Amino acid sequence: MRVAVGSTREPEIAAVKEAWELLSGRLQPDSDERAEFLCYDVSRDETGTPFSAAELMMSAQTRVENLTLQLKRERGEADFYIGLVGGFNVVGSAGPRRQVFLESWAYVSDGHKGHFGHGGGMPIPARLADPVIDRGIELEIVIDRFTHSKGIERRQDLREILTDDILTGKQSFVTALILAFAPFYNPLSYGS
C-alpha cells in the first residue's frame, strides 16, 4: 500500500502515520502489508493563510491534484493521495462580530474519488487574527511576536500555545484524516 502525502512537514507526516495506524485494519482488512509513505513538498498554488472553509478545502484538494501530477510525471502512483492544510475560517465581518477559527482540513483521494475531513475549529483571539487578516502579516510572524520567540526556538504550534499544551496540530490533523478516510473504510454508510 502506497500513501502519498503532499507535505514534508513532520507534524503533518506524523498525523498521517498515526491516522493510518488507526485505520489500516479497516482500509486493508485482509492484509498484513505495511504502508509505504511517500512525502512530497507540493505547493497549494496560493500564498498566505486561507481565510475561509472554502479556501481551506480548495487548498487541500489542490495539494492532492499537484501531488497526483507530480507522481504521474515521475511515472509513479499511490493507493491514496493526501493533502493537509491549516488556516483561518473567518466568520462575520470586521469588528467585534468577526469570529476567527483555526481549522485543519484534509483531502484524501484514491485517484478517482476524493473526500474532505475537518479537524474542528479553534477560536483565535483578535490580537492574533487581526494582524494576519487586516494587515497581511504572516501568521508565523504574529505567533513569534505573541510568544516572544522565533520560529525554530518555538517548539509549539498555535493550538498548543492557546490550549496550554492540551491539543496539538497533529491531533487536529489526525481527526481530519479519520473523517476524510471515512467513505473509504465505511463505504456502506456513504453509499459508495
CATH class entry, domain 2-190: alpha beta
Which helix (H) or strand (E) is 145 found in, with range? helix 139-147
Alpha helices in 28-138 (DSSP H): 53-73, 126-135
Tens of pLDDT, residue by residue over 174-185, are 999 999 999 999
pLDDT at 78: 94
Domain ranges in the chain are 2-190
Tens of pLDDT, residue by residue over 151-165, are 555 567 889 889 988
Tens of pLDDT, residue by residue over 40-92, are 998 655 567 889 999 999 999 999 999 999 999 999 999 999 999 999 999 98
The mean pLDDT value of the chain amounts to: 89
State the Cα–Cα distance between residues 58 and 52, nearest whole angstrom: 10
Tens of pLDDT, residue by residue over 122-135, are 999 999 999 999 99
